[in-house]
Amino acid sequence: MRRKKQVIIPNLTIEGVAAEGKCITRYEDKVIFVDGKLVAPQDVVDLKVTRKRKNYIEAIPVQFHEYSPLRIEPFCSHFGTCGGCKWQHLPYEQQLQFKQQQIIDNLERIGKLDLPEVKPILGSAHTQYYRNKLEFTFSNRRWMTKEEIATEEKIQDPNALGFHIPKRFDKILDIDHCYLQPDPSNKIRLTLKKYAVDNELTFFDQKNNEGFLRNVVIRNANSGDLMVIMIFFYDDQNLIVPLLEHLHSEVPEITSLQYIINPKQNDAYQDLPVKLFAGEPHITETMPSLDEGKPTLKFRVGAKSFYQTNASQAYELYKVAGEMADLKGNEVVYDLYTGTGTIANFIAHKAKKVIGLEYVPMAIENAKVNSEINSINNTSFFAGDIQHLLDEEFVELHGHPNVIITDPPRSGMHADVVDMLKKASPDKIVYVSCNPATQARDLAMLADEYDIIAVQPVDMFPHTHHVENVVLLERKVLATS
């Protein structure tokens, strides 16, 4: 077979940032997308075409003629190879500008929406060590650098404990130091790898589905609590007990040490039992109340619980949602996609009643516990597919909502849920979104009955393209003849 001829397009200036963190430029009548970690706006580059479609081209840089004046030196040695923190080569202030524009572009271009002035994005107070949860993967197929491959020497240590290489399920980048989670996260990871190598424990082989060590999940809380969940391929207490005892002795800060046996052919563990080895089965996050006169809220986080991974910025996000709702104390509030009831409990003291809906039953049980430990007694939580759970019978039974807060997953709301929002006809809708593209689609479906009053972007994940956005909608006042 003949090789396809490589197509090189010379001397193109990267124009800006598009959706999903890709950079764009143009050639003739086509848009060209380039991975945002490989280039920066205002770079002048030669691009090699990797995919050509009717309306766009995908390409990678092969030569730089000028580097962008926006560029800064990345702080992590793994930048460019690791799949996270793709914007480390851009100043944080510049990242915020791109995210702000991404919000506006999505709402105006996808939603065709009339917007008020979009408020300046709320940046994160911490741009390093801001995550409270990370998952690392053990692998016997370490990602090797071009230099290592070129030597043709036998690799002394093929094992890795780190992150998946983008688009490679079977290759793991061994991490020396990660800037995402505060210590002792790095110490835990390095302690585990050294023990495993010293004791000849087998690292997992993703291709052949064999090996002892699979994953480790590290969760910390602003209360000082620290959880570690080890995930093994099979149950061998002669291997498990000494490893966990060693880890607990080396890192005594761990307050919850648990493990899971996962014999499946995938890494998902939500359906598997968790076994407590030492400490408590949960950690506790704290969050200031929406009302400064009220006690600090506590949220219990288990091994499988969802909690916003940037806890300090989550408070800013929920505060925006609460302020947009502007509750006076006599409202019935529906909190859709409530998760573990974080928003519901955060605003409960400002409302007459808050009703949380969520499709994960375990999350609903956690939400009820979170109300109980905070002595909140005006919340109710219901589990089920919101598309089917939220119907006219539900509204009749639990009361007409004055305000609906919705915080759906990246896929946005099902069209049936949007339709039910219209039927429920609350005075206000506060839409919290982690995906402005699907948010724009949903807002367009509501535009005939609701006006957009306020738009507030919030950055939860520095050095990535991800951005949250909160929109306040108010029901239109229909003219009467």
pLDDT at 329 over 50: yes
- Binning pLDDT at 50, 70 and 90, where does residue 479 land? very low
Share of the chain above pLDDT 90, in %: 87
Evaluate if residue 1 carries a pLDDT over 50: no
Average pLDDT in the chain: 94
User: What pTM was computed for the model?
Assistant: 0.93
Q: Return the closest-CA partner of residue 321 out of 301, 297, 345.
A: 345
Distance CA 303, CA 277 (A): 13
Residues of the chain with pLDDT > 70, as a percent, come to 96
Q: Work out the average pLDDT over 66-76.
A: 96
Closest CA to 86 of 145, 163, 169: 163
What Rg value do the Cα atoms of the chain yield, rounded? Answer: 25
Cα separation, 215 vs 6, in Å, equals 40
Check residue 90 and give its pLDDT: 96
- Could you tell me the CA-to-CA distances from 272 to 95, 217, 232 in Å, in that order? 39, 14, 12
**pLDDT tens for each residue of 220-229:** 999 999 999 9
**pLDDT beyond 60 at 481:** no
Q: What is the predicted pLDDT for the residue at 80?
A: 87
In Å, how far are 164, 174, 211, 214, 225 from 136, measured between CA atoms? 8, 10, 16, 9, 19
Local confidence band at 478 (pLDDT 50, 70, 90 cut-offs): low
Query: What distance in Å separates the CA atoms of residue 466 and residue 121, rounded to the nearest whole number?
Result: 13
The answer to whether residue 3 scores a pLDDT higher than 70 is no
Mean per-residue pLDDT, 361-373: 94
Q: Is 434 a catalytic residue?
A: yes
